Structure 1
Amino acid sequence: MVNSESYTKLVGGAWGGTMVDKAYERFLSDIAGPETFQQFKEEHMDDYSDLLRTFEVKKRETSPGHSGKVTFRIPPTFAETIKDATGLSIHDKILSSPFNGQVSYVSGKTRVDGQIAQSFFKQSVDSIVQHLESLLGERLNKEYTAIVMVGGFSESNILQDAVKCAFGRRYNVIIPEGAGLAVLKGAVIFGHQPSTISERICKYTYGQKVCHETTSACNHPPTRTKWVVGKLHCSDIFEKHITIGQTVKLEEEQMEMITSPCSADQTTIGETIYASKLSEPRLITEPGCIKIGHFEIHIPDTSLGTDRKFGTMFIFGDKEIAVKTEDKQTGQVHINSIDFLE
């Protein structure tokens, strides 16, 4: 059991089984030629999809250290496209490719040296192992004792062997039965019982765009200032509500921020929500900062002018972010759903 303080935010990269698929496609492209392979994909989409489906099965069966040949079934239209586009047979193209002597073609199947077949996995597997090394080396993750492998790619013998070799002495590597369906089952359970997940680790820093009157204490760049109702204001400021890596309980109100209208006759305050990969972003214009949505605060009574104050608090739900707005004069509370389509 690990306490919540040792959790980390969701992380990862494009290192899954699709990277292996792309390596296999590059292999076929090197044989046929890039333009010919692209022609095959466009003119024989069904056969191209079938090629990937059959490779998916073989991908899980390929074993580490296998020195013999590995057989891959190839649609007849692949060889036909090569012949029509280049005037050469697939045999001739293999002989003139970098795989001469390591690959052969017989009766609609390629016979590939085990070393080449395993090379399809190298970039993906190396990236996963290196990332796990980095992740498990972080101070907060020292209490972990096991690695659970789930998802379709976790059924790959090569990936399983690489993880066990790299971490088997330090961690208990668990591969549950039906690992490929674990994520799908989890999604179904969550759909029926959202309360099964009570906390989340924020993948980004979340906040809203604000501006305030410029004073001698401000240290924002001069280019980020503008005149508002005759007064100089610092603009494009990132006002942080949640920090990247922070644990948030579902439906729990976060820290309150106070906002006010810029002009006395203002009837609506438009608020824009931003996310950043930085822990302490200062401006919404910084690299890695993206707009993710907006909401509006309506001011039916403008009698207080710019002295009108509203408290805003983020609320993280099971699948969305909402903002609770409290009118500090009247005590009225509104829950604003974030429009993520803008």
Structure 2
Amino acid sequence: MKLFDLRIDAIITKLDEMLQKNEQILNGRLKYIYIQSSYLQYKLKQYYKSKYTLVIPKEPISATVKGAAQLPRVPHFISSRIVKYTYGVYACLPIEYAQSHSKVSQDHISKYKYICDIDNKVYVKQCLVVFVNRNEAVKVGQVIQHSYSKTSKREKAVHVKIYRSEEGDPGVITKCTRLGEIKVPYPANFNNEDKYFIRFYFGETVIRVTVTIKGKEYVEKEQQINYKVPDL
């Protein structure tokens, strides 16, 4: 064990220096240590038993990921993740698309259909456009972008409502959980045919949602949605 002790003693010395520098924020708190070596765990517990309570998680990598989600940080060992929920935004869909969707009922269509005063076509309100479905894999830094245009001549601003669902592509927002919203006024030169863009940035410990409007001026605003730690 002496060979291991040479390495471990150096680790403990370095850790001790770090803890002493941060004494004011450590006092009275439990410490979570990412250690897989049972012998190192034993040595640390013996060394600090009179001063700190060390909590060594049974699944250190999982605990580290959960900690990263709280901070938020992107651990180097995470290259992709499986999304537990479906994420999307509120939208008004063309009636033909709504009618072809298995989860958009005729009652919903009858209640929320309207004629758009821009193109005189029929659309259905209270629908959901999906950016990623539950159980899909997303890579770190992956970006998904959709383009949109005004839904009415009277519209003065982009108003993006962000939702989450436990279903795959639920079609409507009725049973979805609302996570946040972004509101951006249209530039003065934005006309009825112009497009704006909604982007979802997936695969990090947070989901970033942005709205971009391009014209003579460029506007980008952002809403961050933290992954809930128990869902990782």
TM-score after normalising by structure 2: 0.56
Q: Report the counterpart of residue 40 of structure 1 in structure 2.
A: none
Write 1 or 2 for the structure with the bigger share of helix: 1
Task: Indicate yes or no: 2:182 matched with 1:292.
Answer: no
**Aligned partners of 1:267 and 1:300 also within 8 Å:** no
Unpaired segments of 5 or more residues in structure 2? 1-35, 37-55, 227-232
The one-character-per-residue Cα deviations of 1:171-198 (angstroms, maximum 9, x if unpaired) are xxxxxxx554735455557767633323
Question: Which aligned pairs between 1:38-49 and structure 2 lie closer than 5 A?
Answer: none
C-alpha distance in 2 between matches for 1:186 and 1:217: 39
* CA shift in 2, pair 1:202/1:235, >3 Å: same
**Aligned partners of 1:264 and 1:304 also within 8 Å:** no
C-alpha distance in 1 between matches for 2:81 and 2:124: 33
Percent identity of equivalent pairs: 20
Q: Report the counterpart of residue 277 of structure 1 in structure 2.
A: 166
2:200 aligns with one of 314, 318, 337:
314
* CA shift in 2, pair 1:277/1:223, >3 Å: same
The one-character-per-residue Cα deviations of 1:52-87 (angstroms, maximum 9, x if unpaired) are xxxxxxxxxxxxxxxxxxxxxxxxxxxxxxxxxxxx
C-alpha distance in 1 between matches for 2:148 and 2:211: 10
Q: Letter of the aligned partner of 1:262 in structure 2?
A: T
C-alpha distance in 1 between matches for 2:126 and 2:68: 41
Q: Report the counterpart of residue 140 of structure 2 in structure 1.
A: 250
* CA shift in 2, pair 1:181/1:283, >3 Å: closer
* CA shift in 2, pair 1:333/1:228, >3 Å: same
1:196 counterpart SS class: coil
Task: Indicate yes or no: 2:125 matched with 1:235.
Answer: yes
1:305 counterpart SS class: coil
Runs of 4 or more consecutive aligned structure 1 residues displaced over 6 Å after TM superposition:
none
Task: Indicate yes or no: 2:221 matched with 1:332.
Answer: no
Unpaired segments of 5 or more residues in structure 1? 1-149, 151-177
* CA shift in 2, pair 1:225/1:189, >3 Å: closer
The one-character-per-residue Cα deviations of 1:29-61 (angstroms, maximum 9, x if unpaired) are xxxxxxxxxxxxxxxxxxxxxxxxxxxxxxxxx
C-alpha distance in 2 between matches for 1:339 and 1:294: 10
C-alpha distance in 2 between matches for 1:296 and 1:222: 28
C-alpha distance in 2 between matches for 1:189 and 1:314: 20
Q: Higher relative contact order at CA 8 Å, sep ≥6: structure 1 or structure 2?
A: 2
Q: Letter of the aligned partner of 1:264 in structure 2?
A: K
Q: Letter of the aligned partner of 2:92 in structure 1?
A: C
* CA shift in 2, pair 1:181/1:313, >3 Å: closer
Q: Report the counterpart of residue 224 of structure 1 in structure 2.
A: 112
Q: How many residues align?
A: 159
Q: Letter of the aligned partner of 2:163 in structure 1?
A: Y
1:223 counterpart SS class: helix
* CA shift in 2, pair 1:306/1:201, >3 Å: same
* CA shift in 2, pair 1:280/1:339, >3 Å: closer
Q: Letter of the aligned partner of 1:320 in structure 2?
A: V
**Aligned partners of 1:276 and 1:290 also within 8 Å:** yes
C-alpha RMSD of the superposition? 3.3
1:245 counterpart SS class: coil
* CA shift in 2, pair 1:331/1:246, >3 Å: farther
**Aligned partners of 2:116 and 2:123 also within 8 Å:** yes
Write 1 or 2 for the structure with the bigger share of strand: 2
